[in-house]
């Protein structure tokens, strides 16, 4: 019996998150260096000194949920998404971006929990944290 490994669950989760970011027209932070109103996304990497709108996502864990014999049949994938913006949470751009992000994540099968929004005085960026999870088998 073949189950789902931790590595495969994490790989699928990252692939699904990247698909959501591309659907929202976020730019891949590895290839994009322009600063503007568009959001870029980065995996597990802080953007020290970067001013602009960006998303950092990080895989937290992949826990086994269901087992049969020695195989894990289902794993719950967990990730954190940090959204940083030069715009206020009151702005139309950031408000719409967060709404669309949550909608797309839900469409892709993720459960979404949002922490309280905050302003980071040291970077002068607005910051929203989302915790997402999805079951993979």
For the domain bounded by 6-136, which CATH number is listed? 3.30.2000
Model pTM?
A: 0.86
What confidence category does residue 36 fall into, taking pLDDT thresholds of 50, 70 and 90?
A: low
Provide the pLDDT for residue 41.
83
Provide the pLDDT for residue 70.
76
Domain positions in the chain are 6-136
Q: What is the pLDDT of residues 44-89, one digit of tens each?
A: 765 555 667 889 999 998 878 777 777 778 889 999 999 999 999 8
Give the span between the Cα atoms of 101 and 79, in whole angstroms. Answer: 14
Q: What is the pLDDT of residues 100-113, one digit of tens each?
A: 999 999 999 999 99
């Amino acid at each position: 019996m073949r189950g789902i490994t931790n590595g495969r669950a994490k790989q699928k989760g990252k692939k699904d998150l990247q698909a959501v970011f591309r659907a929202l027209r976020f730019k891949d932070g590895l290839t994009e260096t322009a600063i503007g109103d568009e959001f870029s996304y980065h995996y597990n990497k802080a953007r020290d000194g970067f001013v602009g709108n960006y998303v950092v996502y990080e895989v937290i864990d992949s826990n086994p949920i269901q087992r049969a014999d020695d195989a894990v049949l289902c794993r719950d994938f967990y990730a954190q998404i940090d959204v940083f913006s030069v715009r206020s949470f009151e702005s139309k751009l950031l408000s719409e971006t967060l709404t669309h992000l949550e909608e797309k994540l839900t469409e892709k099968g993720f459960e979404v929990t949002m922490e309280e929004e905050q302003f980071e005085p040291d970077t002068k960026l607005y910051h929203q944290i989302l915790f997402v999870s999805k079951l993979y088998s």
